[in-house]
Amino acid sequence: MTEDYGTATWRYWQKIGNEDRARPSYRDRPPVPVRARIVWERDGEEWVEGSAERLGFDGAIFVAIRDRRCSTLGAWLRPEDVWWEGKPV
């Protein structure tokens, strides 16, 4: 997918199938670049670039996603759906 943010409108939006519910969270460090596994409503599974912005008290991670298919600022994902440099395997 090309990164054409100038044409971002509701026509491109897709639900994220593996998105978790919103939750209480905290931010104790600067955003971290990550790759997130996203399951788009129509396009299926894909790993996309993003940044981990917040951490839920239960371990879930809020990832900011710059993709015109995402109708919000990002998504809450389970830790197994997020990869970052230095993450233990």
Please give the tally of structural domains in the chain: 1
68 domain residue, yes or no: yes
Query: How long is the chain?
Result: 89
Tokens of 47: 């790993």
71 domain residue, yes or no: yes
Tokens of 87: 């993450």
For 17-42, write each residue's pLDDT tens digit: 999 998 989 888 899 999 999 999 99
Can you give the pLDDT at residue 4?
57
45 domain residue, yes or no: yes
What pLDDT band is residue 89 in, cutting at 50, 70 and 90?
confident
Q: What share of the chain is helix, strand, coil (3-state, %, to 5)?
A: 10, 40, 50
For the chain, the distance separating the N- and C-terminal CA atoms, rounded to the nearest angstrom, is 28
Domain span at residue 72 reads 5-83
88 domain residue, yes or no: no
Can you give the pLDDT at residue 60?
95
89 domain residue, yes or no: no
| pLDDT tops 70 at residue 72 | yes
Place of tokens 């639900």: 15
